[in-house]
Amino acid sequence: MLSSEHYYALETGTVVPWLQKTGLAQQLLGAQTDLRCEDLADGNVNLVFRVSNSAGRSIIVKQSLPWARKYPDFKLPLDRAVREHGILQSYVAHCPAFVPEVYHFDAAMFVCIMQDLRPHVILRAGLQAQQQYPLLAAHLGEFLAKSLFFSSDLALPSGEKKARVPEFINPVLVKAQEDVCFTQPLQQHAHNHCHPDLTATADALRCDNALYAAVLRMKRLYMTSAEALLHGDLHTGSMLVTATDTRVFDPEFGFYGPMAYDLGCLIAHLYIGHVCQPVFAKVASAKAASDKTAPGMNMLQLTTEIWQIFSQQFAELARTQAVAGEWQSEAYIAAYIQELLQDSLAFAGVELIRRTIGLAHAPEWDAMAEQPALVPAARQCLLTAQTWLLPSQTWQSIETALHARFDA
């Protein structure tokens, strides 16, 4: 059992001394003594530092806190860092090109030291700046296909898969997601908030019994389906990119759950990017002092391509590498992927609602706080979520769902 006896929270002024005392500074950064540390954490939960030297070498030091950094009253287990490290190691085994390299893990301090990915940028920021990432769909489609397939019953012998599930039980963070994603947004809860002009739309959603039943169905699936090892919080803020490289990080919410949850989270955040695209395009043009800024990525096309590549590669893996011959049936594979599509869109609907009227809004809404386009864009997300969650709706393709019409 892991002990927190020797744990203390690092600060900008104590990271370098700790690295030097443990010998990690020389091991990872060489003999230079001119080390400097900067605080990079802009997320909700952890401490993140960059340590660099004058020779241009640098590392990332990430440490768990016993609470959420942005929400100090929300207590968290320190050992979530252990599960995160385990998930990254699983990714290294099957899709190493799409995660940062892990140099060291300290179980006493709950510290993970990783590759500093520069000149990579957070995907969300790059998309808002109207940057083009021509390989992004191929990278994310492959990452999703391999990370989900190889951790599932399709690829693992039954006993081995069942033995792996308890290794990644994540009760506190999973319970937090159950509450803030599935339960609280459709209730009158203190955590919920939204723009005043969205109140009527939010209230209407909370009075929709069919919608509430659909969300509860997805909550039950989230709680009971130990299908594959998930990232657990897969969105455009948990990816670092260049024009030729894509890396996924921060899987601390990961556990064995339904594949469609990871897929749905990504679909939701790309859709938020889509509805906000006109505003960010204008901002990018203004910064460039030109109306000739190159157009950003077509977010609906990007989402479609990711799904197509994922489904094609997942199907091929099932045909050629499934652990049992029965899983290789073409009819079964087609039905499996069709069910994944339905559930992914439903989970995307849940995420759209949570990130618009619940706790921890999508950063896009904060960036658009002073923009008149905020309310119609957010309302479109809520109505799209309602459409995707309709239990009577059967989506034949990702394109049909992305372009679905709804009553405004």
| Residue 308 burial (CB count, 10 A) | 15
Of residues 407 and 277, more confidence is placed in 277
User: Which position has the token pair 């069919």?
Assistant: 210
| DSSP structure class, residue 104 | E
Asked if residue 64 lies in contact with residue 78, where contact means CB atoms within 8 angstroms, the answer is: yes
> What mean pLDDT do residues 316-332 have?
95
Whether the per-residue pLDDT at 127 is higher than 60: the answer is yes
What SS3 class is residue 111? strand
In this structure, are residues 306 and 144 in contact, taking their beta carbons and an 8 Å threshold?
Answer: yes
**pLDDT tens digits for 138-186?**
999 999 999 999 999 999 999 999 999 999 999 999 999 999 999 999 9
Spatial separation of the C-alpha atoms in residues 128 and 390, rounded to whole Å: 30
Packing angle between helix 259-287 and helix 330-357, nearest 10 degrees? Answer: 50
Confidence of residue 290 (pLDDT cuts 50, 70, 90): low
3-state secondary structure of 149: helix
12-115 shares its CATH topology with 121-402 = no
- Can you give the pLDDT at residue 292? 57
**Residue 353, by phi and psi: left (phi above 0), alpha (psi -120 to 50) or beta?**
alpha
Maximum average pLDDT range among 41-45, 76-80, 234-238: 234-238
User: What number does CATH give the domain 12-115?
Assistant: 3.30.200.20
Residue 145: the pLDDT is: 98
DSSP secondary structure code for residue 62 in this structure: E
Instruction: Decide if pLDDT at 39 tops 90.
Output: yes
Confidence label for 408 from pLDDT (cuts 50, 70 and 90):
very low
For 121-402, CATH number out of 3.30.360.10, 3.30.950.10, 3.90.1200.10, 3.40.605.10 equals 3.90.1200.10
pLDDT at 3: 57
Alpha helices in 329-373 (DSSP H): 330-357, 363-367
Residue 407 pLDDT more than 70? Answer: no
Predicted local distance difference test score (pLDDT) of residue 288: 78
Closest to 251 in 3D by CA, of 234, 227, 226 = 234
End-to-end CA distance of the chain: 54
Q: Residue 217 — pLDDT band, cuts 50, 70, 90?
A: very high
Share of the chain above pLDDT 90, in %: 87
